[in-house]
């Protein structure tokens, strides 16, 4: 050791990146081992994290499905234009032809007042009533299938259709859509608020878990500081602990979500088919799994950084 000590020293010191990677791998494995060392409390923590992540995640997923359903209903939305009395069939046909030139309109269907009366009297029991009419009380109408993305556009289209002189009344069959859209908006808001609350509680849960890991190794940390361990060297294993807790919690949450979806799949699909919807509830998407695992890991890592910063620095030498 006494020979050429100083000239050899530089040569033996590995590059910073290799050092870093080497330390990271070692600390990751060590942290995992420490978590496995107390499997019961570790899995309790993971379950709590998973449950917390599951709440906003389920809401978001539920809303995604509602939004898909909304789109489905929107495709079925109809606008009915009731024409003013005295509008001739030729005039009405002109109007419907001009409507077809609009991009916002997929198809039109002109129903003359005779046709309307005919279909009305066809309905069981009404033929006698219809026969008693002196004149045809029913207006001619144009049924429009719009080609639109959202409710706002639908309203806009309805307003512009109201400007047409031959149009007496515009009827938009959108009550369902509006209800659904409101529910969807509410869900998104709830999911966001819940997400924020969950984020804070996860930081708290994971931060506290990391803190207890730090407290358990207080003496060790003191000694490492005495021989020149940097904050990041000391903190790194604890960051991995946070990361692993978050990651495992996220994975468990996506597993639970898949199970929940699986158990709701059949009854929900039945409801959708009642509404004449071709929509079917999708099973867990890989994107959801990745999102949950990634958010869990990120939150865990960040919470651990905060916790390690506070509690490692508080150990003084």
Partner 1 sequence: MISFDKVSKQYISGQYALAGVSFEIAKGQMAFVTGHSGAGKSTLLKLVLATEKCSSGNVVVNGTDLNHIRRREIPSFRRRIGMVFQDHQLLNDRSVADNVALPLDISGFSRRDALRRVRAALDKVGLLSKEKKFPAALSGGEQQRVGIARAVVNRPSIILADEPTGNLDPELSMETMEVFEQFKNVGVSLLIASHDISLINRMEYRTLILKGGALIGDTGLGELS
Residues near partner 1 (CB under 8 A) are: 1-2, 5-6, 9, 12-14, 16, 18-20, 22-23, 220, 222-231, 233, 317
Phi, psi of 228 (to 5 degrees): 100, 20
> At closest approach, how far in Å is the CB of 50 from partner 1?
31
The Cα 265–Cα 277 span in angstroms is 15
The three-point CA angle 287-289-292 to 5° equals: 105
Q: Give the span between the Cα atoms of 275 and 108, in whole angstroms.
A: 23
Angle, CA 234 vertex, CA 226 and CA 18 arms, to 5°: 110
- Between 7 and 128, CB nearer to partner 1: 7
| Residue 211: count of CB within 10 angstroms of its CB | 19
Q: Of 25 and 85, which has the nearer Cβ to partner 1?
A: 25
CB of 201 to partner 1, least distance (A): 31
Instruction: Return the number of the residue (1 or 175) whose C-beta is nearest partner 1.
Output: 1
User: Taking the complex as a whole, how short is the minimal distance between the CB of residue 225 and partner 1, in angstroms?
Assistant: 7
Find the shortest distance in angstroms from Cβ 257 to partner 1: 39
Packing angle of the helix pair 39-75, 286-313 (nearest 10 deg): 140
Rounded CA gap, 199 and 203, in Å? 6
Closest contact distance (angstroms) between CB of 270 and partner 1 is 59
């Amino acid at each position: 050791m006494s020979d050429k000590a100083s000239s050899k020293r530089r040569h033996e010191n590995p590059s910073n990146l290799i050092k870093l990677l080497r330390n990271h791998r070692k600390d990751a494995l060590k942290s995992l081992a420490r978590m496995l060392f107390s499997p019961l409390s570790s899995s309790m923590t993971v379950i709590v994290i998973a449950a917390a992540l599951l709440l906003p995640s389920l809401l978001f997923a539920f809303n995604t499905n509602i939004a898909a359903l909304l789109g489905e209903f929107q495709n079925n939305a109809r606008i009915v234009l009731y024409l003013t009395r005295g509008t001739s069939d030729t005039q009405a046909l002109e109007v419907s032809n001009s409507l077809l030139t609009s991009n916002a309109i997929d198809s039109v269907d002109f129903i003359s007042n005779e046709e309307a009366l005919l279909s009305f009297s066809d309905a069981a029991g009404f033929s006698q009533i219809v026969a008693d009419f002196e004149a045809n009380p029913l207006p001619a109408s144009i049924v429009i299938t719009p080609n639109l993305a959202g409710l706002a556009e639908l309203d806009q289209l309805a307003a512009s259709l109201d400007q047409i002189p031959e149009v007496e009344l515009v009827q938009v069959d959108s009550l369902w859509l509006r209800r659904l859209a409101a529910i969807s908006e509410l869900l998104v808001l709830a999911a966001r608020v819940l997400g924020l609350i969950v984020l804070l509680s996860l930081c708290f849960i994971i931060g506290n878990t990391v803190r207890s890991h730090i407290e358990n190794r207080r003496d060790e940390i003191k000694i490492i500081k005495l021989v020149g361990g940097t904050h990041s060297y000391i903190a790194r294993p604890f960051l991995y602990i946070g990361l692993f807790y978050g990651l495992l919690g996220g994975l468990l949450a996506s597993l639970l979500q898949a199970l929940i979806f699986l158990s709701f799949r059949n009854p929900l699909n039945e409801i959708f088919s009642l509404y004449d919807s071709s929509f079917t509830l999708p099973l867990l998407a890989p994107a959801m799994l990745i999102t949950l695992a990634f958010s869990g890991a990120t939150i865990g890592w960040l919470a651990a950084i905060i916790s390690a910063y506070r509690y490692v620095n508080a150990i003084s030498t």
